Every structure is written in C-alpha cells, then in structure tokens.
Structure 1
Amino acid sequence: MKIFLDCEFTQLNKYSKLISLALVSESGDEFYIELTDTYSVEDCSDFVIQNVLPQLDLLRYGQSLVEARASLRSFLSGFAEELEVYSDAPHWDWDFFCDLASAEHQPWPVQVVSQPTNLTSLFNQVSVEALEQVELSDPPHHALLDARVLAELFKVLASRLVLSP
C-alpha cells in the first residue's frame, strides 16, 4: 500500500523542527498531527509564520511529541500490508517521520518499508504533455492538504498509465 507523507517544519536548515505531519494512504486513510511542544514561533522562518502557522488548528489536531509518537504507531499498526512511504521532499520529511515512528527505543514499524520513494524523481520522469493535462494548484503549505494533493496527483498520473501503480 502506498502512503503519502508531508510535513511542515520551522525552517529550511539543520535546526529545523517539526510542526505538523500527515499521511494519506491510497485507500483514503488519513493521519494528521500538529505538535504543541517542539517549537516556538521564534524558531520559525518568516515564510512559515505567514503561510503555515495561520492554518494550524491546535485545539483539534494538537498533540505533544509523546502523544504524536503513540498516535502514529497506532495508525501504522492498523495496516496489515506493507507500507511504501512516498514524499515529494524525503530529505526533510523522512527524518521527521522516522523520529516519530521509531523514537524512544521503539522498534521500526515492521510493515513500513525502510526507505521512502521520492515523488519528485517519479514526477520528473513524466512527460510534459501528461503533466499539462493535470490541473495543479499551488500547495497550501498544510501537511494534510499537501499529502492529499500528492496522493491525488499520483493516482491521476498512474490511472493514465504515466506512472506504474
């Protein structure tokens, strides 16, 4: 089963901290958390302050890091089949995912493949003509909405036999 990952984080540097993480499976199952105790506004770039933070709903989705780790492991354990994680920014998102999925000496979730698939590399192999037929909006910079967009884009391109499903 393919599962699409997206994260929002404080800034694009080695001091980056996770703000939110979303997973959307190809069967439509969704996981989304916003962290409440891992960063402060001062950690965030101006872009994140203007575009990411205003979209958060901490009352609805907010969890501590400890709660988020438990929630993610519970979500992943609901899948019996092997999970292939797809991300358009695995060099950022994958580390955050791994930190949540296997932290505090927890074993790696057995159903999760231990390496992500880079969607950007896959999409770069798609012909210009095929991409021109797909309506894309700017990503909303909200992890759950972005993960949904990635899942839908993959589905559309795979259905047109542009990508192998």
Structure 2
Amino acid sequence: MKVFLDCEFTQLNQYSKLISLALVSESGQEFYVELTDTYSVEDCSDFVIQYVLPQLELPRFGQSLVETQDSLRRFLGGFAEELEVCSDAPHWDWGFFCDLACADHQPWPVQVVSQPTNLTSLFNQVNAEALEQVELCELPHHALLDARMLAELFKILASSLILSP
C-alpha cells in the first residue's frame, strides 16, 4: 500500500527542523501531527512564518517529539500490508520520517519499505498531453492538505492509466 508523506519544516537548508508531518494512505487512513518542541519561530524562514505557521492548530494537533514518535509507530503498526512511502520531496521529507520512525534506537518498522518512492520522478514520466487533463493547484504548504493532494493526484493518474506501473 502506498502512503503519501509530506512535511513542513523551518527552512530550506541543512539546519531545518521539523514543524509538521502527515501521512495519507491509499485506503484513506491519515496521520498528522504538529510538533510543539522541535523548533522556535526564530528558526523559521520568513516564508514559513508567513505561510506555514498561521495554518497550524497546535491545540488540536500538537504533540511533543516523544509523543509523535510513539503515535507514528502506532499508526504504522496498524497496517498489515507492506507500506511504500511516497513523497514529492524525499530528499527533505524522508529524513524527518526516518528520524521519527527509528527514534531512540527503535528497529525499522518491518512493514515499511526502507527507501522512499520519489513522486516527482514518477510524475515526470507521465505523458504531458494526458497530464493536461488533470487540474493541478498550488500546494497550500500544510503537510496534511499537501499529502492528501499527492494521494489524490496519484489516484487520478493511476486510475486514468496515465501513470505507468
């Protein structure tokens, strides 16, 4: 089963810190968390301050790093089938996912494939004419909404046989 991953983080550099993470499975299960203790506003770029932070709902979705690690492992453990983590930015998102999934020297979750699928590479293989039939909108820079959009785009392309397996 494919699980679509998206993260929001403080800035686009080697010092970035995780703000929020979302997973949306092909079957509709969702995991979403906003971290409460991994960053400060001072760590954030102007873009993140303007577009990402105002969308957060910390009273509803906020968790500490330790709580997030536990809840992510519970979420992943709820799947019997093998999970293929798909991201449009695995060079950023995958590291954050791995840090949470294997925290405190926990073993790798057995049902999760150990390498991500790069959706950008996959989507680049799509027939350009066929892709014109799909209405694309700008990602809202909210991890859960972005992960949902990635899952929906994949579903549309796969069901239209536009995306080769």
Structure 1 residues 140-155: aligned runs within 5 Å: 140-155=140-155
**Number of residue pairs the alignment of both structures matches:** 165
Q: Is the aligned partner of 1:13 residue 2:13?
A: yes
SS in 2 for 1:82: coil
**Which residue is 1:44 aligned to?**
44
CA distance in 1, matches of 2:9, 2:131: 28
Q: Percent identity?
A: 84
SS at match of 1:104: helix
Unmatched 5+ residue regions in structure 2?
Answer: none
Q: Give, in whole Å, the separation in 2 of the partners of 1:31 and 1:69.
A: 12
- State the 1:134 CA deviation: 0.5
- Please give the secondary structure, in 1, of the residue aligned with 2:123: helix
Q: Deviations over 1:33-70 (max 9, x none)?
A: 00000000000000000000000000000000000000
Partners in 1 of 2:27 and 2:129 — Cα distance? 28
Q: Deviations over 1:58-91 (max 9, x none)?
A: 0000000000000000000000000000000000
Q: d(CA) in 2 for partners of 1:128 and 1:89?
A: 21
**What is the identity, as a one-letter code, of the residue corresponding to 2:122?**
L
Deviations 1:115-139 (A, max 9, x none): 0000000011111111110111110
Distance 1:13 1:137 in 2: 25
- Distance (whole Å) between structure 2 residues aligned to residue 95 and residue 130 of structure 1: 32
Corresponding position: 1:122 with 2:122:
yes
Aligned Cα root-mean-square deviation (Å)? 0.6
Distance in 1 (CA, whole Å) between partners of 2:59 and 2:144 is 16
Query: Which 4+ residue blocks in structure 1 deviate beyond 3 angstroms?
Result: none
Secondary structure of the residue aligned to 1:19 is strand
Aligned to 1:75: 75
- Which runs of no fewer than 5 residues in structure 1 stay unpaired? none
Partner of 1:157: 157
Question: Taking structure 1 as the reference length, what is the TM-score of the superposition?
Answer: 0.99
Q: Which residue of 1 aligns with 2:57?
A: 57
CA shift for structure 1 position 164: 3.7
Contact 2:126 2:164 in 1 (8 A): no
